[in-house]
Structure 1
């Protein structure tokens, strides 16, 4: 899809029914995100989510999913060492049934990415705003100045060189997201990073307008424009595929 220029529609999922309907709406990639700590469990951050919980939710998603690619997040501190990262990835894939694992960070995780890739584990990187680091860095757009932008570009290239098969860019300037996407061979999935990436990802609850508290500015409530959850999910996929999201939806959202 990336090579042919088709936009990739990605959405979070946390249980069997939402995974089933998202996949049948045409969502290409389901992300079992540790965002479940905030949108499902009601925590203030993603940090309390455990590996056992990630395995459990991945199992549920894969029971309902019969066609989408499934990525599972490696939770906070699971990549504190190479050994713990390998054990985490093994559980998410062997017990959870994930097709790919995702971990946050740049240079710090390169050795882990390389070893996972050597072992045949598909890996998705995550740069920009890192939810697992919010206690240190907060929620903010990254890469706005030349130094940080160059660092993000180099980190993206290094992750690809280490063996990452996909990259999520969260809350980086659209021009930088486009530069990184153009520089890489692997697909880049954006969230709050403009329209020039290979695809888009949103949190399911934001798409349906049922998020606890305020949704991020880059999100869009598709249920407002459709008469069912299934139609809203299909509307999200269509908007991504036709390049209407994020541009057009932001214009009216």
Structure 2
């Protein structure tokens, strides 16, 4: 079982961003995507999640065999895909506890109701793991939160929803080392044979804590190079120019 992206072509308006993009993320594995700014990393994440600003004009994205292209975002989420945003939205007036509870309820089979005592037991256990004060449950989602608090809230949602596949769109952006470590611990606690992760990042430092099985380099809307975790170290040391130089003869 896998997240299998085949020849995905995505544009914003008239501008093509992803160009026959291909990637397979099997359950049980963590794949990381790195690449220069503007190469399509966040476009990939948002397009897979069903964002209305991104036009999928070709290809498919199979979630355990089901094509999610064309589905509404809530249908994609219920199918088992989770997206942790680079810039999580603020939702004034909606408490974290009620927001996550509604999301968890929406993923239950029709006619099954969430048991409140079980829900809060799991919620508090996850918050303790993420070192979040339990008073956060009554605060509005991300309203007035620091960058680190927003990212912990994203991971809390993921831990409660237990998706089959999780995409982390530059979750390390804006985090100090302590917050980064805590967020990574939350992700690592969910690693296992029944879940796949796609981690999008600019920086190798996140991959010190969330060690990937495979690292991919994305350039000009495509995966152009893949390797093990040592590839991330090479990119950190040498930048991306050497990758572009390798591609130059092929495009000449």
Name which structure has the greater RCO, CA cutoff 8 Å, separation 6+: 2
Into which bin does the TM-score normalised by the smaller protein fall? 0.3 to 0.5
The structure number with the bigger radius of gyration is 2
- Judging by fraction of residues, say which structure has more helix: 1
- Judging by fraction of residues, say which structure has more strand: 2
